[in-house]
Amino acid sequence: MRLATIQDGARTRAARVEGAEYVELDAPDVGALLAEPGWRERARAADGKRYGTGDVRLAPVTPNPGKIVCVGLNYRKHILEMGRELPEYPTLFAKFADTLIGAEDDILAPRESEAVDWEAELAIVLGATVRRADAESAAAAIAGFTVLNDVSMRDWQFRTREWLQGKNFESSTPIGPVLVTPDELPGEVRPRLAIGTEVNGERMQQAQTDDLVFDPVRLVQYVSTMVSLRPGDVVASGTPGGVGHARTPARYLRAGDRVVTEIENIGRLDNRVRADS
Provide φ and ψ at 182, rounded to 5°. Answer: -60, -30
CA 221 to chain centroid, in Å, comes to 18
Q: Which of 191, 222, 224, 34 is nearest to 123 (CA)?
A: 191
Q: Per-residue confidence at 182, pLDDT binned at 50, 70, 90?
A: very high
Contact (CB, 8 A) for 233 and 66: yes
Contact (CB, 8 A) for 24 and 47: no
Stated as kind and residue range, the H or E segment containing 179 is strand 173-180
Whole-number Å distance between alpha carbons of 3 and 116: 30
Provide φ and ψ at 100, rounded to 5°. Answer: -80, 140
User: What confidence score (pLDDT) does residue 114 get?
Assistant: 97
Beta bridge partners of 16: 3, 23
Per the prediction, the chain carries an average pLDDT of: 96
Task: Please report the domains of the chain, with CATH numbers, ordered by start residue.
Answer: 1-59 (2.30.30), 62-276 (3.90.850.10)
Cβ atoms within 10 Å, residue 36: 14
User: Would the pLDDT of 81 be above 80?
Assistant: no
CA separation, residue 216 to residues 121, 126, 269 (Å): 12, 11, 21
User: Would the pLDDT of 82 be above 70?
Assistant: no
User: What confidence score (pLDDT) does residue 80 get?
Assistant: 81
Whole-number Å distance between alpha carbons of 145 and 235: 10
Coil, strand or helix: which one is 126? Answer: strand
CA separation, residue 207 to residues 18, 46, 85, 154 (Å): 28, 36, 19, 22
Whole-number Å distance between alpha carbons of 192 and 121: 13
Contact (CB, 8 A) for 3 and 14: yes
User: What confidence score (pLDDT) does residue 78 get?
Assistant: 80
- The mean pLDDT of 217-237, rounded to a whole number, is 98
Q: What would the pLDDT profile of 36-77 be if each residue is shown by its tens digit?
A: 999 999 999 999 999 998 899 999 999 999 999 999 989 998
- The mean pLDDT of 173-187, rounded to a whole number, is 98
Which pTM was predicted? 0.97
User: What confidence score (pLDDT) does residue 237 get?
Assistant: 98
User: What confidence score (pLDDT) does residue 254 get?
Assistant: 97
